[in-house]
Structure 1
Amino acid sequence: MSRLLPSTLAGRIILVLLVGLMAFHVGSLWLHQTGSDIFLGSTQQKVTSERVAAVARAIGMVPLDAREAVAQALSSPGFQVRWQPGAASGAVDPQDLAASGHLEAEGMVSLPDDSHLWYHADPLQAQPEHATLLSTTAMALGILVLGLLVVRLIARPLRELSNAADRIGRPGQTVTVPEEGPREVRQAAQAFNRMQARIDRLIADRTQALAAVSHDLRTPLARLRLRAGFLDDAEAQRQIDADLDEMDAMIGSTLAYLRGDEEQEEVRSADIAAMLQTLCGDAEDMGKTAAYEGPPQARLPCRAIALKRAFANIIDNAVKYGASARVTLSDLGRDLVVYVDDAGPGIPEEQLESVFQPFYRLEESRNRSTGGSGLGLAIARQAISNHGGSVALQNLAGGGLRASIRLPRRT
């Protein structure tokens, strides 16, 4: 039953109005028609009995040879009378007609001289109820139009509230919801604006605390790096420098993920094809295997720095854990699709989604000794999602792992 109902509040209110109006409309017409039939039936009986009695009195006052002519003269298209000599069985006394007020539409009436009248009265036809139908329809349409206006007034603040709720956590300046409409909607908008303000303060406080922690951590790291330079043991110095580099990279990755697009990078048109070719070239310069296939140019309005970081993390994972990266770009017009394939062992099916969680590590391949912080894919998905896109992983049938990135082309 719920599948038959509209999914929106406005649709359900309109459906209720339509069903109610249809029920009211049909019920009104039925009551009107029933009342009209009863009224016309009683009226026809009374009119027919009075006309038959009057015709019987008139014919009884004229000679026998003129009665049939008088009967035809008194007939009309809806009321026919015939005079016939001789008595008829079942005939009614004309003196009882007016008093009884009950007469069939066709019958016979006895006259005092043992002759009789045959009569036939056509049923009274109700006049077309165009005025009633038009007035009822106009009233129903007026109520429906008024209902639609009320629904729009109610639904508009709710849509704005829903859109504002959907913007929470996305890049861009937060927008307060207009506090207007019915009292309940205003109260909901006020509560939402207060909640949004608290979230903004929480995010700002968190970002400020992270910046302070980052600064405070990098200061002792710099001192440790300086002191390690005075060690006589070159191997120990190299290991300490490697640990310090890993700590510094972990701090930078954590801040990049938690900050998201807090820096408010400007959206501009960037060449995604050139971006991918540059990343593949950088990987090859570092002795890795990376190749690009696709069009020489594919422009996309985006935050280029954030998107380049996302592609860099995915390609870096491919060359680090899959030995190589084969990057394929397809320009579908409305969307850009990027595939990054590697030649590694792949990932267990049950962990294909888990690897996008912050700080998640695969026990065998993504451990601390490889230098990973567990945030590369989380940062990549965050940046791609902020562009309205999606990223997913799948194991290839012939071996290896594929990262599929879809980015919508927006103006």
Structure 2
Amino acid sequence: MAARVMGTLPEEVRAAAARALSTSTFEASWSRSPPAASAGDTALAPLRKRLQQRAPDLAGLRLQLGLTSADEGPRRLRGAMHLADASWVSFAAESPDVAPVPTHTSLPSLSAMALGIVLASLLVVQWITKPLQRLALAVEDFGRGAAPVPLPETGPREVQEAARTFNAMQARIHRLVADRTQALAAVSHDLRTPIQRLRLRAGFLDDLEVQRAIDGDLDEMEGMVESTLAYLRGETESEEPRQADLAAILSTLVDDATDRGASATYIGPDRIPMRLRPVSIKRAIGNLIDNAVKHGGGAHVTVEEAPKDVMVRVEDNGPGIPETELETVFEPFHRLDASRNRGTGGTGLGLAIVRQVATTHGGTVTLANRRAGGLVATLQLPRQHTVGRDGDPPSNGALLSPVTPSGVGQA
């Protein structure tokens, strides 16, 4: 509008007309000489284009746009239009918030900058999360009973503090467990001597009935010591995991129970190669079979194979146990029979040892009452689980021959 009005007025009144058109936010002026060059014209190219679209006449007036320099105070928008008689109408207004628009020359640099930011972010995330992953794996392994292995105290400060605290904690726990096991082992060793002396003296008794009663008490005492040590050894034992045949172990345990006159059967594959601790597994499943024979009249062992795990079920035909006791029976020294006599046997550590062995192998053990009567114990063992830190990862090579170590813990 300023250009149209002043283009029709005589030159002597154009300056006054420009002052009349000025407002508090828009300042207009007229002059014969061209205006001084303004800075920042590249950023205003999109604004010039939009103005020319709104007012096509501006294209013929050779509209110029620029920004005042920072030395002149708050930056303002400055422009000029060329009239037909070669004079100029200049104006100044408040500077709009104009963001630089990327051009075809700046897009590659922006893309490279974005790619660099993404790569740097990935490196930072990996630097932060890798120590946390190591810490999580170490906590999981130590929780399964693996030997303590110090974590490298690297990474961010918070991760270093967590690793340092975890190293101190696992060293302290391992030392406490080792001290307790050593103390109990010393006590058990000292107990064996008086037990053997009492057994020898009982052999000189003339009353055979008293002699058998004393021998029974001594057998019970010796069994309590051995079962307690077996449970405590499970927390610190360092049996190396190796390739073994689980089916051979199960068949051996069932045959041993049958040789003792018990009712025991096995239904499952003839061969189940797995990576495990054979002695521990034999002790755990032997405890389940002994419990089924002792309290359920017989043991029926079945195996179900899956791609990722193996399920071993030991069923009996006994009365079962109350639903409220299905979990508490795994607690050490917990027994349903409070009398603790030799007729019912054991010290309440059999199932505690089973759960301990299952946890060490990364598996689980559960109890459930059968609808048809009796109890079923389910031992779940993962196939590809690496047992503790002392074992190597599962091998893809040839399998070793079946291993059937001896020694079954007392239930």
- Is the 2:276–2:361 contact (alpha carbons within 8 Å) kept by the matching residues of 1? yes
- Is the 2:258–2:264 contact (alpha carbons within 8 Å) kept by the matching residues of 1? yes
Task: Give distance in 2, aligned partners of 1:53 and 1:282.
Answer: 106
Determine whether 1:376 maps to 2:350: yes
Unmatched 5+ stretches in structure 2: 1-41, 64-82, 93-99, 385-393, 395-411
Determine whether 1:48 maps to 2:87: no
Matches within 5 A, 1:10-409: 37-42=46-51, 48-49=57-58, 51=60, 99=89, 129-260=103-234, 262-363=236-337, 369-409=343-383
Match of 1:17 in 2: none
- The structure where helix makes up a greater share of residues is 1
Q: Structure 1 residues 258, 96: closer, same or farther in 2, change over 3 A?
A: same
Q: TM-score if structure 2 supplies the norm length?
A: 0.69
Task: Give distance in 2, aligned partners of 1:373 and 1:180.
Answer: 46
Q: Structure 1 residues 195, 94: closer, same or farther in 2, change over 3 A?
A: same
Task: Give distance in 2, aligned partners of 1:139 and 1:287.
Answer: 79
- Is the 2:144–2:359 contact (alpha carbons within 8 Å) kept by the matching residues of 1? no
State the SS of the aligned residue for 1:99.
strand
Match for 2:149: what amino acid?
A: V
Match of 2:9 in 1: none
What's the offset of the Cα at 1:44? 6.9
- Is the 1:53–1:98 contact (alpha carbons within 8 Å) kept by the matching residues of 2? no
Q: Structure 1 residues 52, 206: closer, same or farther in 2, change over 3 A?
A: closer
Q: Structure 1 residues 232, 147: closer, same or farther in 2, change over 3 A?
A: same
Task: Give distance in 2, aligned partners of 1:187 and 1:127.
Answer: 47
Q: TM-score if structure 1 supplies the norm length?
A: 0.69
**CA offsets per residue over residues 59-78 of structure 1, 9 Å max, x none?**
xxxxxxxxxxxxxxxxxxxx
Match for 1:387: what amino acid?
A: H
Aligned residues: 318
What's the offset of the Cα at 1:342? 0.2
**CA offsets per residue over residues 100-124 of structure 1, 9 Å max, x none?**
879xxxxxxxxxxxxxxxxxxxxxx
Larger RCO (alpha carbons 8 Å, 6+ apart): 2
What's the offset of the Cα at 1:99? 3.3
State the SS of the aligned residue for 2:149.
coil
**CA offsets per residue over residues 369-403 of structure 1, 9 Å max, x none?**
41111000111121122122221111111111111
Match for 1:40: what amino acid?
A: K
- Percent identity of paired positions between Structure 1 and Structure 2: 53
The RMSD of aligned alpha carbons is: 3.2
Match of 1:79 in 2: none
State the SS of the aligned residue for 1:168.
helix
